[in-house]
């Protein structure tokens, strides 16, 4: 079992993390987008603390969805161009483990930093401090779901590398994550129990971990044969 993990999951996790560190521009762009667009919102809306606090849960999650969507398109395209995708498909290891390794690396480079940066955006949007922990937890769990779903879309659109097509495919599946992610923050702002929508996000993550790698496996093999 350890050989499968080291040869599949851990190998591709380390590989994609190293590639992400070398290509810092691809790593930083979604984070800069997240920060810059969030900074522009108070300029476009009347900078009243109460009004910004009401809009903040939805705004933060919309920006997180868009930032993830910007980065997920190239999850498999570079591997297709340099031939490493073909090597992954013919590897004796379980293909699901390399897929999970690549998606985990994507989340560590995009989703986790977004969650850690979110308190800065929360302060900028006058979000009450009581909502910071629920916001970070919802973003940490929710962006992992977004990475898994986005990886399915990236695999389906791999031969074409179409950004618009990818958005059309994954946006309907992103909506439940967006709804319950923002509901977690809004519940904390309103002083209500926020663990229920967070638990639903965790359930989405469990389902995505079980189903998305299987869908990606089939999609990648179709892309290779096509």
Q: What does the pLDDT average to over 85-114? A: 82
State residue 97's pLDDT score: 85
Looking at residue 47, its pLDDT comes to 67
Give the phi and the psi of residue 101 in degrees, each rounded to 5: -65, -45
Spatial separation of the C-alpha atoms in residues 26 and 138, rounded to whole Å: 24
Q: Which of 94-98, 123-127, 152-156 has the lowest mean pLDDT?
A: 94-98
How far, in Å, are 60, 67, 118 from residue 114 at the CA level?
10, 9, 6
Round to whole Å and give the CA distance between 60 and 1: 40
pLDDT at residue 6 above 60? no
Contact present, 58 and 140 (Cβ < 8 Å): no
Per-residue pLDDT of 13-47, as tens digits, reads 888 888 888 877 777 777 787 778 777 777 777 66
Q: 88 with 79: CB under 8 angstroms? A: yes
Show the tokens assigned to 26. 């691809």
Confidence of residue 104 (pLDDT cuts 50, 70, 90): very high
CB 65 within 8 A of CB 33: no
N-terminal to C-terminal alpha carbon distance within the chain: 32
Calpha distance 17→108 (Å, rounded): 8
């Amino acid at each position: 079992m350890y050989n499968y993990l080291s040869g599949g999951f851990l190998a591709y996790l380390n590989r994609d993390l190293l590639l992400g560190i070398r290509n810092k521009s691809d790593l930083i762009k979604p984070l800069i987008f997240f920060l810059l667009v969030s900074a522009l919102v108070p300029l476009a809306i009347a900078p009243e603390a109460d009004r910004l606090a009401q809009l903040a849960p939805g705004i933060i999650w919309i920006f997180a969805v868009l930032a993830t969507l910007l980065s997920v398109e190239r999850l498999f395209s570079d591997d297709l161009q340099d031939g490493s995708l073909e090597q992954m498909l013919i590897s004796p290891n379980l293909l699901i483990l390399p897929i999970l390794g690549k998606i985990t690396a994507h989340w560590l480079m995009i989703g986790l930093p977004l969650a850690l940066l979110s308190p800065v955006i929360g302060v900028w949007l006058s979000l009450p401090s009581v909502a910071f922990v629920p916001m970070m937890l919802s973003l940490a769990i929710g962006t992992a779901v977004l990475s898994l779903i986005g990886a399915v879309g990236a695999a389906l659109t791999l031969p074409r590398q179409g950004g618009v097509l990818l958005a059309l495919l994954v946006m309907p599946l992103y909506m439940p994550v967006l709804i319950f992610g923002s509901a977690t923050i809004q519940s904390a702002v309103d002083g209500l129990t926020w663990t229920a929508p967070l638990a639903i996000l965790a359930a989405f993550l469990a389902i995505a971990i079980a189903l998305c790698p299987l869908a990606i496996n089939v999609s990648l093999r179709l892309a290779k044969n096509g």
